[in-house]
Every structure is written in structure tokens, then in C-alpha cells.
């Protein structure tokens, strides 16, 4: 299974990029980051850690309720040249770092150099642990790195990546008494090509690459599978204040070229690489990412947007369980996916995709039970107030607060249980149908079934409509870009990622891409002034074949030199 494979470690660029042209282009970036590292830190790096961004083809805002999604990795990535800090460094900027200290610099001058070190502190239980009555956490020493979640900076993601490595591999209790049990000081030099705030997962790429860099420099990579790196990166990303699911991290770590990933999270992380259908004779289709250029600061807006969706779906699951006669303990906080399984009486080991599809189809009418009564609310309002929410949950006010609100900050006048549930279950179904269309096409001998691309496009359009009207995670600019993409000839077009700005992804015939991009450029006002590299940054095609490259790798630089000629 894809998640159980080890993290690939390459020793030359041509192993990492079998396509010679890509290897040559990447070689220039690698050479630059290595040379610059040596200049800045006075010694060579020992590794380069790489993690790509991703485009989610379908399955939005359902990973955190543990339904599957269908992302692919993109070529745009984060590279970190890294190595242990050497006290004999010749760099003027060099200072002797404390044990486990980090010097982090970025090729992009926008990001100022940072120096920080983890500290051992005695910590009591967290709010989340306190909310869990079963928890018996006592004050004990733990690693601490300062991350201000209200004002995230570029180094916050590096610190987030460091946390998981510290807590898993350097037990604080041991480190308190034994300096040998501390991590080594590290020098890091970053360069990245994933646009931030665009829905292409620059934050996951930063956290995954950072986690990997700390693992490699500390010689902890042996025995780490792709699945365990995904889990570590998911835990780490929570440190920057977003209660995300695992779709980005799974795509960034597990994807391979030519394939998308059907990734599921219940009862545990599972991943299936699915090649994207490639017609034999007719023109192939490619995915085109178009950035709306509306930057969504997910962390700042989390209490009205992302984290609110997490809370609405969690409370929705409890309310639906109550209405279906499913008994829950007062401290339980199950997701919609868990409630579905209990309602179906499904085996602990989970359901395969076919079983899940039948289950969701049977369950969908039950979602109507979440529609609130019409009386007492403004016309067209389908949400419920906080007081109603508490009542519907069947919990006391205090217990409700403890389970659903004590660990997260959210703000809303009306909480949309019905709309969110309808989005979740229909989107989960569309993901399975998308997978089915791909599998059917891949199994066909000869040409693809004629309706393959049309069907995939329809599912993408339906997904966008649902994100826009039920999940309410789109925005007018992104809606306009999707409409424009359709009128410019896309089979389908949808928002990708968290939303409220960011990117769209459209399925377009490869031989029409140039024409398509031109039409979108002319039609989308913010693109009109863009030319050359700036335009290529904003709208670009990623081929299902060689385009989506998701191999995560660590290159031993000395051997890599052969590639650079």
C-alpha cells in the first residue's frame, strides 16, 4: 500500500526526475540553493528535503470529517538545503547555536533570517486535553517553540515541522537530564515555488519539507513510512492553529507522477494511487490551475471560515446522531463519517469504496433531518443560533462548550448544520464517482469510454456548485473564474483547496490549453495586465502524466553533482 512505503531517498537528480528536461531545469534550482547555502553558512548542506504543493481535483472540506479526497501533487514545491550547524563555520553570520538550535534563511529576501531554539518547559494539560474527560494528563516537561498563531510568520511553519520530530524522537523527560538526547543544531536554506494563500497547499509543503529536513539531519528517517510522515505533518500543522484534515499532507508525501491519490482517513489513513485517464488517440486532457489572486489568510479568517466549518460539521454529526437514535457519550466528538458507519452498522475495518457509495446513497435522505423548522428565523435562513445548537446537541451549555468550543475560536450568528451536511455527503459521493470513472477508463482496452472527460468535468462542476452554495467556501472572483473557464471550453471547473479565494482547477483538452489560457486572460480582469512569467505564475497547466510530480525526496548532494555537468 502506498502509505506504507519508505520515504524515497535519491542520490542524483536524474533518479528524482527521470525526464531529462525536468532534471536539467530543476538542476539549476538545486545548484543555486546549494551554492548559496555554502556562502551563507560556510559549509555544504548534507541533504535537500523537498515537498510539493498539491491540487485537489475533487473532495473539498470533507477530509476533516474523515471522508476521502482526490488530490494530485504539482511540480511547484518547497526545497530545503539542510545540514548540521558547524561551530567552525566561516560565515560572518554564524553564531554558536545551542543544542537543537536552528538557523533558517530563505532565498526570497521577503523572508528575514531567523534563529531559534526549542526549550524544555513544564506544561500542564492543554485545553483540548482538559476537554477530554478520559485524559489523565499531568504537568510534565515538554518541548516548546514559540508560535504565535495570531500572527503567523514564515518560520512558524518550520517550528511546526520541528515539533513532531522533537516530541516523537527526543523524549523531553530524557532530554532534561541528558544533553546527548537533544537534537543537533541545524542550518536551513529555503526556496519555494508554491504561491502562498492560493489553495495549492504551500503551508503543507512547508510543514512536510521542514519535518523531513529535521528528520534527515538528525538521522531519524530510517523506518519512517510515507504514512507516518503524513501523520506527523498533520499533527505538526495543527500547531499553526488550523484544524485541518490530512489531504494536503497525504498528497504532498504520497503522490507519484502520472497519478492522483484516492486518500481516505477512516478508520485509518489509506491511500490508493489512481492513474489519470489518458486517451490513446484523441487529445489528452490536462488540469489547469488558475489563481484568482484573492489571497485568503486562512489563519486570520479561521473563526468565520475554516474552523467554523470544522465545528459546524462536528456539531451537525452529533445532532444528526440524536435524531437517528444513535447514542453518544457526553465527551464524544464523532464526525459525519463515524456516524455513517454507526448507522450502517459497518465493520470496524471500514468499507471499501463500493460499500461506502451504497451506504452514502442510503444515508442521504436522513440528512434532511437537519433542516431547521421555518418558524422563528429570517426568510431563507437555514442555520440555527448558538442557543438552538446547544439545545439540539442534547448537552448542557457547559458540556457543549467543553466538547465543541473550548479548543477552537469560532464566530457566527447562524450555524449551518443542514447545508454543511448536504455538502459533505454529496461531495463524498462525487469523490467515489470520480474514482470510478477513472478506474473504468483505465480498465478499458483501446480508446477511453467516450463520456469519460465529460463525466469527470460534470462532477467537478457539481462540486464547485456545492462548495459555493452549501459549503460557502468560494467567493465572487473564484465563481467568475469557474464560469469563465467553462465558457472558454473546460470540461469542468471548480475551486480547489480551502477557498475564500485561491485557485480554481479546470479540466481542459491539452491541444486547447493555449487558447483556453488566452480566453481566461482576456476575460478575467485581474489577469489583463499580466504577461510572461507573471501570467505563467497565475495560470498554468499540470499534466496528469508528467505534470503532477509528487515524489518526496532527499538528495545526497555530492553524488548529485554529476547531473549538473
**Residue 244 in the binding site for ligand NG1 (CB under 6 A):** yes
- Choose, by CB under 6 A, the member of 247, 285, 294, 432 that binds ligand NG1: 247
- Least distance in angstroms from the C-beta of 266 to ligand NG1: 15
**Residue 302 in the binding site for ligand NG1 (CB under 6 A):** no
Helix (H) or strand (E) run with residue 492 in it: strand 492-495
Asked if residues 287 and 507 have their Cβ atoms less than 8 Å apart, the reply is: yes
Q: Which of residues 481-510 bind ligand NG1 (CB under 6 A)?
A: 497-498
Q: Edge-to-edge, what's the strand order for the sheet holding 114-116?
A: 9-10, 553-556, 47-58, 70-84, 186-192, 102-106, 114-116
146 given a catalytic annotation:
no
* Given the residues 63, 187, 248, 461, the one annotated as active site: 248
Helix (H) or strand (E) run with residue 191 in it: strand 186-192
**Cα dist. 249→211, 233, 257 in Å?**
11, 6, 16
Nearer to ligand NG1, 388 or 433 (CB): 433
**Residue 147 in the binding site for ligand NG1 (CB under 6 A):** no
- Least distance in angstroms from the C-beta of 254 to ligand NG1: 14
Residues with Cβ < 8 Å from 105, sequence gap 6 or more?
40, 113, 114, 188, 189, 190
Q: Write the interaction track for ligand NG1 spanning residues 211-240; mark x where CB under 6 A is met and - where it is not.
A: --------------------------x---
Which stretches of 195-335 are assigned E, i.e. beta strand?
259-264, 270-275, 285-291
Nearer to ligand NG1, 228 or 466 (CB): 466
For ligand NG1 (CB under 6 A), the number of binding residues is 18
**Residue 191 in the binding site for ligand NG1 (CB under 6 A):** no
Whole-angstrom Cα distance, residue 253 to residue 328? Answer: 35
Orientation angle between helical segments 386-393 and 306-323, nearest 10 degrees: 40
Whole-angstrom Cα distance, residue 57 to residue 72? Answer: 7
- CB neighbours of residue 135 within 10 Å: 13
Q: Which span sits near ligand NG1 by CB under 6 A: 112-120, 198-206, 434-442, 520-528?
A: 198-206
**Residue 298 in the binding site for ligand NG1 (CB under 6 A):** yes
- Least distance in angstroms from the C-beta of 511 to ligand NG1: 30
Nearer to ligand NG1, 45 or 227 (CB): 227
Whole-angstrom Cα distance, residue 45 to residue 471? Answer: 45
Q: Write the interaction track for ligand NG1 spanning residues 23-62; mark x where CB under 6 A is met and - where it is not.
A: ---------------------------------x---xx-
**Cα dist. 133→122, 125, 328, 329 in Å?**
21, 12, 14, 11
Residue ranges that bind ligand NG1, judged by CB under 6 A: 56, 60-61, 63-64, 199, 201, 203-204, 237, 242, 244-245, 247-248, 298, 497-498
- Residues serving a catalytic function are 248
Amino acid at each position: 500500500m502506498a502509505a506504507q512505503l519508505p520515504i524515497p531517498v535519491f542520490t542524483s537528480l536524474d533518479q528524482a526526475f527521470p525526464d531529462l528536461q525536468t532534471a536539467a531545469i530543476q538542476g539549476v534550482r538545486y545548484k543555486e540553493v546549494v551554492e548559496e547555502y555554502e556562502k551563507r553558512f560556510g559549509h555544504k548542506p548534507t541533504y535537500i528535503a523537498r515537498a510539493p504543493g498539491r491540487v485537489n481535483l475533487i473532495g473539498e472540506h470533507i477530509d476533516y470529517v474523515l471522508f476521502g479526497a482526490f488530490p494530485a501533487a504539482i511540480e511547484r514545491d518547497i526545497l530545503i538545503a539542510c545540514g548540521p550547524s558547524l561551530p567552525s563555520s566561516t560565515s560572518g553570520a554564524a553564531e554558536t547555536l545551542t543544542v537543537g538550535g536552528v538557523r533558517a534563511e530563505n532565498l526570497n529576501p521577503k523572508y528575514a533570517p531567523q534563529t531559534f531554539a526549542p526549550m524544555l518547559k513544564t506544561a500542564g494539560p492543554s485545553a483540548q486535553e482538559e476537554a477530554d474527560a478520559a485524559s489523565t494528563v499531568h504537568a510534565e516537561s515538554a518541548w516548546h517553540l514559540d508560535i504565535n498563531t495570531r500572527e503567523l510568520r514564515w518560520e512558524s511553519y518550520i517550528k511546526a515541522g520541528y515539533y513532531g520530530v522533537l516530541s516523537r524522537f527526543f523524549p523531553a523527560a530524557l532530554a532534561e537530564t541528558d544533553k546527548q538526547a537533544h537534537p543537533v543544531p541545524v542550518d536551513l536554506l529555503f526556496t519555494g515555488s508554491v504561491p502562498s494563500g492560493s489553495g495549492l497547499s504551500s503551508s503543507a509543503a512547508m510543514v512536510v519539507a521542514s519535518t523531513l529536513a529535521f528528520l534527515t539531519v538528525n538521522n531519524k528517517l530510517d523506518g519512517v513510512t510515507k504514512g507516518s510522515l503524513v501523520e506527523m505533518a498533520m499533527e505538526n500543522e495543527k500547531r499553526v492553529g488550523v484544524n485541518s484534515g490530512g489531504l494536503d499532507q497525504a498528497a504532498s508525501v504520497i503522490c507519484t507522477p502520472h497519478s492522483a491519490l484516492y486518500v481516505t482517513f477512516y478508520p485509518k489513513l489509506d491511500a490508493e494511487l489512481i492513474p489519470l485517464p489518458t486517451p490513446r488517440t484523441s487529445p489528452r486532457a490536462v488540469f489547469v490551475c488558475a489563481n484568482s489572486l484573492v489571497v485568503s489568510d486562512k489563519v486570520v479568517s479561521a473563526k468565520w471560515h475554516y474552523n467554523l466549518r470544522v465545528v459546524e460539521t462536528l456539531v451537525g454529526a452529533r445532532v444528526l446522531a440524536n435524531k437517528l437514535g444513535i447514542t453518544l457519550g457526553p465527551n464524544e466528538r464523532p464526525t459525519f463519517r463515524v456516524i455513517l458507519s454507526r448507522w450502517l452498522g459497518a465493520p470496524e475495518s471500514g468499507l471499501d469504496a463500493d460499500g461506502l457509495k451504497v451506504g452514502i446513497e442510503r444515508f442521504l435522505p436522513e440528512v434532511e433531518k437537519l433542516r431547521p423548522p421555518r418558524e422563528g428565523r429570517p426568510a431563507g435562513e437555514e442555520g440555527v443560533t448558538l442557543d438552538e445548537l446547544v439545545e439540539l446537541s442534547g448537552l448542557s451549555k457547559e458540556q457543549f462548550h467543553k466538547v465543541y468550543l473550548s479548543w477552537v475560536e469560532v464566530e457566527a450568528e447562524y450555524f449551518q448544520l443542514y447545508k454543511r451536511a448536504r455538502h459533505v455527503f454529496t461531495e463524498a459521493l462525487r469523490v467515489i464517482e470520480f474514482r470510478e470513472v477513472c478506474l473504468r477508463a483505465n480498465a478499458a482496452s483501446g480508446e477511453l469510454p467516450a463520456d469519460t472527460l465529460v463525466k469527470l468535468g460534470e462532477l467537478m462542476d457539481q462540486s464547485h456548485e456545492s462548495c459555493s452554495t452549501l459549503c460557502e467556501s468560494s467567493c465572487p472572483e473564484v465563481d467568475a473564474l469557474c464560469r469563465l473557464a467553462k465558457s472558454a471550453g473546460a470540461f469542468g471547473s471548480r475551486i480547489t483547496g480551502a477557498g475564500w479565494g485561491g485557485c480554481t482547477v479546470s479540466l481542459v483538452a491539452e491541444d486547447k490549453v493555449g487558447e483556453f489560457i488566452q480566453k481566461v486572460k482576456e476575460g478575467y480582469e485581474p489577469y489583463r495586465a499580466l504577461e510572461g512569467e507573471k501570467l505563467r505564475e497565475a495560470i498554468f497547466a499540470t499534466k496528469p502524466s508528467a505534470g503532477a510530480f509528487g515524489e518526496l525526496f532527499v538528495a545526497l548532494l555530492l553524488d548529485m553533482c554529476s547531473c549538473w555537468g
